Amino acid sequence: MRLVILEDYDQASEWAAKYICNRIIQFKPSQGRYFTLGLPTGSTPLGCYKKLIEYHKNGDLSFKYVKTFNMDEYVGLPRNHPESYHSYMWNNFFKHIDIDPNNAHILDGNAPDLQAECDAFEKKIEEAGGIDLFVGGIGPDGHIAFNEPGSSLSSRTRLKTLAMDTILANAKYFDGDLSKVPTMALTVGVGTVMDAREVMILITGAHKAFALYKAIEEGVNHMWTVSAFQQHPRTIFVCDEDATLELRVKTVKYFKENLFSPNYTSTENAIV
Bridge-partner residues for 68, per DSSP? 37, 104
Q: Please pick, among 56, 86, 105, 143, the residue that the annotation labels catalytic.
A: 143
Residues forming a β-bridge with 30:
33
73, 122, 132, 141: which is the annotated catalytic residue? 141
Residues 188, 223, 180, 205: is their CA dihedral positive or negative?
negative
Q: Which among 238, 244, 242 has a CA at the least distance from the CA of 261?
A: 238
Query: Is 141 tagged catalytic?
Result: yes
* 240 is known as an active-site residue: no
Taking the CA atoms of the chain, what radius of gyration do you get in angstroms?
Answer: 18
242 is catalytic: no
CB atoms within 10 A of CB 52: 24
The edge-to-edge listing of strands for the beta sheet with 72-74 is: 72-74, 184-187, 158-161
The answer to whether 154 and 191 are in contact (CB under 8 A) is yes
143 is catalytic: yes
H or E element, residue 240: strand 235-240
Among 14, 72, 117, 195, the one annotated catalytic: 72
Other Cβ atoms within 10 Å of 71 Cβ, number:
27
Please pick, among 14, 117, 132, 148, the residue that the annotation labels catalytic: 148
Catalytic residue IDs: 72, 141, 143, 148
